Amino acid sequence: MSGHKLLKLWSSGRSRWRLHEGISRCGKACYSSCIPKVCIVGSGPAGFYTAQHIIKARQDVDVDIYERLPVPFGLVRFGVAPDHPEVKNVINTFTQTAKHSRCSFYGNVNVGKDVSVDELQQAYHAVVLSYGAEGNRSMGVPGEDLAGVYSAKDFVGWYNGLPNCRELSPDLSCETAVILGQGNVALDVARILLSPIDSLKKTDITQPALEALAESQVCRVLIVGRRGPMQIACTIKELREMVNLPGTRPEMVATDFEGVAEALKDVPRPRKRLTELMLKTALEKPGEKEQERRNKASRVWGFRFFRSPIEVLADPSQNKIAGIRLAVNKLEGSGEGAQAVLTGEEEDVPCGLVVSSIGYKSLSIDPSVPFDSHKAIVPNIMGRVQQAAGVKPVTFSDWEKIDNVEMTRGEASGKPREKLLNVEEMLQVART
């Protein structure tokens, strides 16, 4: 049995979690008399893979997994699309790990609230932060707070049963939906919006979502990206599912693909196959059977490239959205490193639903853990969090970078060195 149990203590009318076994009277972990203990915060895929690796690599380590929700598996449960049950099969492996004699799962424990990271550090030899990215990245445009605008994280959480998204109740009474972002999550959302309701009934999608989708009026979904077909972030599997989605047909803009075929000879095979499928879908005349299928389709979808959101447009009441204004971009550079640059042109797209799928961001878990709010990460060196004041030390090799710059500057004026006088400048040189 794992040596770290949680006791719920009641004091002054408030409940408080305290680590029990494995802590000496002075509050320090009794390392000398205990086998090594590792705490993992978060029970998603990363947390379980970490636990699995530790248990296999070391025969003398106990692992405790803490989870804020009463249920485990994180994004496998709440992120994977309901029509992708094969991806969720990994839960079987995670279950074996959770039932291992040297692994314990503790759900409904909110680290940072019920128990502090400081307390965990006192009780364990190592604490692994694997709590994921719970925040939404903001588009940073006017109107994004209007009714009818949702983050993909919340929208996916709604149809997958994430407790804090159960009241989302998106308005699906419009004809056109716009999804910002062209990764796999964006395609998941598009596919769920357009899938035949009978096929969704066979999945683990939530009943409220199923009922709402059964009444949905959405029949056109545009998947918008700021760069071009050569930079799209989805995989060929997800694209193929969209291409073959029953009851739908693709609707592309041919000019978005100018020059793409010529550029394919120099790209890696996975990117080449993905782009070839897009080109075939967008530009080639389909065969007789496929054309017949498309003619019968009642719903359409399509990629829109070289577009960035600049404003969500409100209806006359100013209470909900009526459309989205997109900036038209051009690319500078090529391949994965190509950058989207504004052309000055704009385009308004009428729609009643906008789903922002531009990524998630991590949030601070505990005041005692250093957190870079700008980058939305816990600062670390090769995965190791620098605790205390969150100081990132300068190594000797970092100093040698400073030394080299100072001597180079000194040579210009005939001096042995020209010292850097600003700490921020020193750190900037050391970390380049």
pTM (two decimals): 0.81
Give me the chain's average pLDDT, please. 86
The arithmetic mean of pLDDT across residues 214-221, rounded, is: 98
| CB contact at 8 A, 188 and 369 | no
Residue type, 345: E
Place of tokens 């109740």: 169
> How high is the pLDDT of residue 21?
41
Q: For 67-90, what is each residue's pLDDT tens digit?
A: 988 888 999 998 999 999 999 999
Instruction: Report the Cα–Cα distance between both ends of the chain, in Å, rounded.
Output: 47
One-letter amino acid of 329:
N
| CA Rg value for the chain | 26
Tokens of 195: 């899938």
pLDDT at 19 over 50: no
Place of tokens 């915060």: 41
> pLDDT grade, residue 413 (50/70/90)?
low
For residue 273, what pLDDT is reported?
A: 95
Q: Counting beta carbons within 10 angstroms of the beta carbon of residue 205, is it exposed (0 to 12), middle (13 to 18) or buried (19 or more)?
A: buried
Q: How far is CA 176 from the centre of its chain?
A: 25
Closest CA to 186 of 141, 135, 238, 144: 238
Query: Domains, the chain, ranges and CATH?
Result: 6-134+362-385 (3.40.50.720), 137-360 (3.50.50.60), 396-430 (no CATH)
Judge whether residue 6 has pLDDT over 80.
no
Share of the chain above pLDDT 90, in %: 61
Residues 6+ apart with CB under 8 A from 119: 18, 19
**pLDDT band at residue 393 using 50, 70 and 90 as cut-offs:** low
Q: Using the structure block, give the residue that is written with the tokens 């009643």.
A: 352
User: Collapsing DSSP states into helix, strand and coil, what is residue 18?
Assistant: strand
Residue 254, pLDDT > 60, answer yes
pLDDT at 148 over 70: yes
Cα distance between residue 295 and residue 244, in whole Å: 14
pLDDT over 70, % of the chain:
90
Mean pLDDT, residues 127-137: 88
Q: Compute the distance between CA of residue 231 and CA of residue 226 in angstroms, rounded to an integer.
A: 9
pLDDT digits (tens, 9 = 90+) for 118-129: 999 999 999 999
Residue type, 336: E
Contact between 244 and 286 under an 8 Å Cβ cutoff? The reply is: no
